[in-house]
Structure 1
Amino acid sequence: MSTGQVLDQVMDIDEVDLTVDTEVDVNCISKHRSKVHQHFTKIENKFQCNHCKKTFNIEKYGCTSNRLKHLNSKHPSKVEKDQTHALTQKNVILQAFQKQQKNQSEADLQRLITRFIILTDQPFVITEAQSFFELMAFGKTNAPAIPSADTIRRKIFAVYDEEKLKISQKLQSAPGKISLGADCWTAATGKSFHGILASWIDADWNFQQVGLDFDILNGNHKGKSLAASMFKVMNEYGIASKLMAITTDNASNTDTMFLELQKILSEN
């Protein structure tokens, strides 16, 4: 049974009763969702207690709070029974949520959180933030444990390896040659980066392009460092034999890079 079906069974709510004397304040007439209405019968302009048959003027006792005082004073056992029933309904709802949550595995939760962090570019440590705990805990009384930042880090690296393997397989299955494009720059933090793209035509004559690496260089943009970075990527994806061309800007260090790369390829 789904949670929605459980809620439909336990939430038996009647319509609002507005068939009262027009002199009565309509705002004071509560909805029949209140259990108090079950203990009284409306007779003309009066309410009659179903247990002791005492009558109450509707103008004075239109609000359920006044009639509830009578029940608490004269018929406390009836009120206690209602409270027990309400608690039972609450437990049914909680059990329905808990039953669904037991079907949620820890691996599924880790997969979804990992995907969320990757697609929204969140830091690993977001899973250790108090606000994130509060978000995940909302309505999740029996949810799997929230993974730590270290667990998320491992999961993201695992996703990276999976995607890298898929890209490698695409490159290996390319029917023709593959061209590379590269550029490098230094960030405000002083770190140097080397971005490398692969482009090719697939078996259906569709143009394909994918990023292969966003390499952090050791030192500055020297041609030797760029050549080592380029060879590393070519070797990891096994595309050296399929290489057709490399496109870069006309910076002086690219001449050195090509000479060094030619030397490395001849030795390997």
Structure 2
Amino acid sequence: MSTPKLSSKIWNFFTINAEDESKANCDVCNKRLTRGGRNARSYGTSALINHLRSFHHSEYDEYTRSTESHKRKRDDEEDSKRKHSKQGNLDYFIEKMTPFGQNDPRKHAITKSIGEMIAVDMQPFCLVEDIGFTRLMKVLEPRYKLPSAMHFSRTIIPDMYLSVKAIIQERVDKALYVCFTSDAWTSDNNLHAFLSLTAHWIDSNWERQYAFLQLRLLEVSHTGEMLAAELLSIMEEWKVVGDRRGILVRDNGSNMVKAARVAKLSDLGCYIHTLQLVVGESLKTQKAVRDAIAIARGIVSHFRHSSKATAHLKRIQESLNSNRTDDVLDVTDQVHPAHRLIQDVPTRWNSTYYMLERLLEQKRAIGVYSQEADIKSLTANQWSLVDKVLNTLKPFEEQTKQASLASSHAGMIIPGVRLLERYLQRTKKSWR
């Protein structure tokens, strides 16, 4: 039987009975005393202390002195721990409130992360001076002092650009051939013109890679000759010269076509832009379709410029859903979605497609609204025409989405065009 660990000072005067551990023998008079309880968990020392106090006064005084000494020592240790704990907390608080040093690694890591956030999320430099952001940083790291927006715009982001550019340059240098996609456009207010160039290549693992090389502000009129000079300048800056230059995919604008010719680049018209021109022109040549689209734009514009009208339409949508009877509805009339209408962008045919698609979805709600408000709606024939237009353009919309994927490639073009031709031949009769 193992001897239990005895921490009380009373055991300086008693010994556990060898035959029965529930008993203890007094070392002074050899009297056997019960330890109380029926098992080890309930054993106590009260009977032993009382025996010592009643029959052995000098031993009891010794026991009392040793107990008090032990208690004082324990209290002193606890006081020392509390003092060290308070000092530790104070030191920790002072450390947490002391600003980072100029060369502190943590400070530079935070600044770099903020710079990456600005670049990746395309945030304005002034973000670092916004009240909400500065408060957030004080909570997250009180020791960090935010640099100014100018510091990020003139130092952090430019340094980061050079670092990333070096990495991209190394990857481009390893490519055997590099192809390009480019676009030129003007801002909404026509005050600025831009030219972009993106590189595409196959790496050593036969995986497609791409990198947006540059966006240039065009200071002069973007003629074909000027665009050619800019494109060649960017390619030379990235050390893609001679036979390493592959095909340039560009839009069908006359200036971009001429730029490729002047620069003597192998080029290919953008498939999506070609579809845009084909579908856009076909929509314009059909007067009935033009009229239906014009009315559709008027309907959408009505709601876009009136919060009251939008709220009313939403109530109608909810009413149509609450009044429906599930057991008599057909599959196409099970739920009336409470979607907002979509405004198209005339220069993007697929946005017109999505506008008409959403209007057709909301046909019932718009019909109810037009009976209650002064708004020109589509006639029954025009609704039917919209349905036909959507059915006809659906394959074009699918082709546009497929060609917009990062995994798309030029090998899709010929099969895609052949599919569209066959589809149009099959559906030609429905338009007669």
State the TM bucket, normalised to the shorter chain: 0.5 to 0.7
Distance 2:116 2:233 in 1: 27
Q: Are 1:91 and 2:90 counterparts?
A: yes
Q: Does 1:146 align with 2:161?
A: no
Deviations 1:73-122 (A, max 9, x none): xxxxxxxxxxx999868635514635896765432221121122222221
**Residue identity in the other structure for 2:131:** Q
User: Which residue number in structure 1 is paired with residue 206 of structure 2?
Assistant: 205
- Choose between structure 1 and 2: higher strand proportion: 1
CA distance in 2, matches of 1:100, 1:146: 11
Aligned-residue sequence identity (percent) comes to: 23
Which of the pair is proportionally richer in helix? 2
Shift in CA distance, 139/168, structure 1 to aligned 2, threshold 3 Å: closer
Match of 1:245 among 239, 244, 247: 247
Counterparts of residues 70-149 of structure 1 (less than 5 Å): 91=90, 93-95=92-94, 97-98=96-97, 105-138=106-139, 140-141=141-142, 143-149=143-149
Q: Deviations over 1:122-146 (max 9, x none)?
A: 11122222332222222644x1321
Task: Work out which structure has the larger RCO, using CA pairs closer than 8 Å and 6 or more positions apart in sequence.
Answer: 1
> What letter matches 1:149 in structure 2?
A
Q: TM-score, normalised by structure 1?
A: 0.58
Match of 1:257 among 250, 256, 259: 259
Over residues 224-262 of structure 1, what are the superposed CA-to-partner deviations in whole Å (9 max), with x where a residue is unaligned? Answer: 221122012101100012102212122211243134324
Counterpart in the other structure of 1:193: 194
User: Which structure's CA Rg is the greater one?
Assistant: 2
**1:95/1:232 CA distance change after superposition, 3 Å:** same
TM-score normalised by structure 2 residue count: 0.37
Deviations 1:211-231 (A, max 9, x none): 111222123431122112201
What's the counterpart of residue 179 of structure 2? 179
User: CA contact under 8 A between 1:218 and 1:225: conserved in structure 2?
Assistant: no
Residue 99 of structure 2 contacts residue 145 of structure 2 at CA under 8 Å; is this kept in 1? no
The answer as to whether partners of 2:129 and 2:148 remain within 8 angstroms in 1 is yes
CA contact (8 A) 2:181 2:199 kept: yes
> Could you say what the CA RMSD is over the residues aligned between the two structures, in angstroms?
2.9
1:166 corresponding residue in structure 2: 167
Would you say the 8 A contact 1:101–1:140 is kept in 2? no
Residue 148 of structure 1: how far off its partner (Å): 0.9
For structure 2, list consecutive stretches of 5 or more residues without a partner in the other structure: 1-82, 266-432
Aligned length: 178
Aligned with 1:138: secondary structure? helix
Does structure 2 conserve the Cα–Cα contact (< 8 Å) formed by 1:118 and 1:156? Answer: yes
Can you give the 5+ residue segments of structure 1 that lack an aligned partner in the other structure?
1-83, 264-268
Alpha-carbon distance in 2 for matches of 1:93, 1:116: 30
1:224 is aligned to 2:225:
yes
Q: Which amino acid aligns with 2:166?
A: L
Determine the C-alpha separation between the residues in 1 that align with 2:181 and 2:165: 18
